[in-house]
Amino acid sequence: MSMLKTALENGEFAVTAELAPPKGTDFSRALQIAETFGDRVHAINVTDFQSSTLKASSLAMCKALIDLGLEPVLQITGRDRNRIAIQGEMLSAGFFGVKNLLALTGDHPTVGDNPGAKPVYDLDSVGILQAAKVLASGVDMSGNKLEGSPSFFLGASVTPEYDPIELQLIKMEKKIKAGARFFQTQAVYDIKTMEKFKEMTKHLNTKILVGIIPLKSAGMAKFMNKNIPGINVPDHLIDRLKNSNDPVKEGIKIAGELIVELREKNLCDGVHIMAIGAEENIPLILDEAGL
Amino acid sequence: MIISQNKPFEEILGFLKNSEKIVLTGCGECASACNSGGEAELIAIKAKLEDAGKQVLAFIVPETSCNYLLVRRDLKKIKESIDEADAIVSFACGDGVQTVAKQVKIPVYPGNNTLFIGEVERVGIFSEACRACGDCVLGLTGGICPVTRCAKSLLNGPCGGAKEGKCEVNPENDCAWILIYEKLKELDQVYKLTEIREPKDFSKIAYPRTLNLRNSGGGAIK
């Protein structure tokens, strides 16, 4: 049974933390960090060649986490695998005891570190969810019978600051139809964004984990505003970072405050913390958030 | 139209390292329209090759370089030059090059890179519009092709990668799905986006594809 699913169904405030597999065969640092999360997170969300950069695979890291007694979320994008490989990855994940799966389109190879790679996109995020759902029923996408079938608590992503937002909502509904039971959002910094988004999605009866990326500097915030789709760091937060003697610490504080406010105002079902390279700070963010 | 572009001249010279006597062919259709294989281009390339020490025995712009019978007819007009030549360089699309290559016994080298099936937006400006996916979805997408104009060929709506309506892969390109959404809104057909589109059946478009109207009794709807 997925702990993440149980937590969300019981109305607990769920916490997931994102962790990337290493670029190489040395998993020790990533696994050490994972152990520091302990039972303070419900699941560790393992990226699948995040930002199209080559790393060890998500499944290998998920297996290593399971061996440590931790619960992973396997991310699968459509970028690198066709439907044979995606379904195969799901069967393997089922064998290893992976309980949660997050379906993503995947960044295009041209934004990554092997930009000449052939993009696949045989299945989009909706198709990946459909594949997981059909495998759970005991057959593959072509209707061929399986010897044992995997069952995943399925998630997907959504961008609350997307313009036009109707287009995100239409796709979100398709993802729910295809089997998504929880969503993690692109990083949000403005409480008003979630107030609006909560209102727009209340009819969907799904679970939403708000994406939290701790800011490390005013420069990082400005860079993300300029370059990362769907991210909007308000000026007053950039000023706080600018005026701080320890912007990393200030960023952790901002993240913690945001989580507290989201929780108090009941604007989401949990949070998904993406520390992008500073995962050792995740326990500090949880301290700030009182989690 | 098939959009093509001349290869770098050095690459063409590389093909011709061991060839002295050259024949050039172009194409009277697409390659002429995109200035990669019309008469004017062949005259200019002939001069460059001659500057590089090659002999250009003849050049011809077949009416349509992808039409086997028309190419055969037009090559006959320069048969003597072809018989004497060491190589042909074809300034057509990849199809046109192969149609020429089938009909001669000397090497035929491509002078062009074939880029895409595109629209002539205006003279000299071309944009990719169709990837010949074999299963047209335009009826569902307001006449805007997501297979071609979405860098990921997504069928169920956009990824999260658009910024101010522009694509993450190339910010000069509009996000196809935002265009589709706006168009369907105008047409009062946004409902077409709400249904899940199943993954494409690539077994139907395994290449190389052929079409034989004689066996299928014609191309039109019966």
DSSP alpha helix (H) spans, chain A: 3-9, 28-37, 58-67, 83-96, 125-136, 165-177, 191-201, 218-227, 235-242, 247-264, 282-289
B151–chain A nearest CA distance, Å: 8
Strands, E assignment, chain B: 2-6, 21-25, 55-60, 87-90, 108-110, 112-122, 125-130
Which residue's structure tokens are 């600051």? A161
pLDDT over 90 at B221, yes or no: no
The pLDDT, as a whole number, for residue B215 is: 79
What DSSP character marks residue B163?
A: B
- The continuous run of DSSP H or E covering B15 comes out as helix B9-15
Burial class (CB in 10 A: 0-12, 13-18, 19+), B121: exposed
The pLDDT, as a whole number, for residue B102 is: 97
- Is A171 close to B152, i.e. CB distance below 8 A? no
CA distance B138 to B149: 12
pLDDT over 90 at B37, yes or no: yes
The pLDDT, as a whole number, for residue B218 is: 67
The pLDDT, as a whole number, for residue B214 is: 86
CA distance A54 to A56: 7
pLDDT over 80 at B50, yes or no: yes
Q: What are phi and psi of B25, to 5 degrees?
A: -125, 155
Q: Nearest by CB to B152, from A121, A141, A164: name it.
A: A121
Span B87-119, pLDDT tens digits: 999 999 999 999 999 999 999 999 999 999 999
Which residue's structure tokens are 């405050």? A257
User: Residue B81's pLDDT band (boundaries 50, 70, 90)?
Assistant: very high
CA distance A172 to A182: 10
SS3 content of chain B, % helix, strand, coil (to 5): 35, 20, 45
Picking from B159, B166, B180 by the largest number of A CB atoms within 10 A of its own CB, the best residue to mutate is B159
Query: How far apart, in Å, are the Cα atoms of A181 and each of A6, A157, B125?
Result: 12, 11, 46
Contacts of B198 in chain A (CB under 8 A): 127, 130
CA distance A220 to A274: 14
Chain B residues touching chain A at CB-CB below 8 Å: 151-165, 168-169, 177-178, 181, 190, 193-194, 196-200, 202
Which two structure tokens, joined as six digits, stand for A84? 């044979």
The pLDDT, as a whole number, for residue A183 is: 98
- Is B154 close to A124, i.e. CB distance below 8 A? yes
Domain B2-115, CATH number (from 3.40.30.10, 3.40.50.2300, 2.30.110.10, 3.30.70.600): 3.40.50.2300
- Mean pLDDT over B144-163 rounds to 95
- Is B160 close to A159, i.e. CB distance below 8 A? yes
CA distance A20 to A56: 9
The ipTM of this complex is: 0.94
CA distance A210 to B39: 62
With a cut of 50, list the residues of chain A below it in pLDDT.
none
The pLDDT, as a whole number, for residue B222 is: 66
Picking from A121, A177, A274 by the largest number of B CB atoms within 10 A of its own CB, the best residue to mutate is A121
The pLDDT, as a whole number, for residue B176 is: 97
A32–chain B nearest CA distance, Å: 32
Which two structure tokens, joined as six digits, stand for A263? 């929780």
Using CA coordinates, name the residue in chain B closest to A105. B159
Query: How far apart, in Å, are the Cα atoms of B57 and each of A40, B51, B52, B78, B219?
Result: 80, 14, 14, 9, 41
User: What are the structural domain ranges in chain B?
Assistant: 2-115, 135-196
Which residue's structure tokens are 């993503």? A104
Contacts of A108 in chain B (CB under 8 A): 151-152, 161, 168-169
How crowded is residue A49: how many other Cβ atoms within 10 Å of its Cβ? 24
* pLDDT > 70: percent of chain A: 100
A35–chain B nearest CA distance, Å: 31
User: For the whole model, what pTM was predicted?
Assistant: 0.94
CA distance B27 to B91: 7
Q: What is the CA radius of gyration of chain B?
A: 22
Which residue's structure tokens are 């194409």? B27
Domains of chain A in start order, with CATH, are: 3-289 (3.20.20.220)
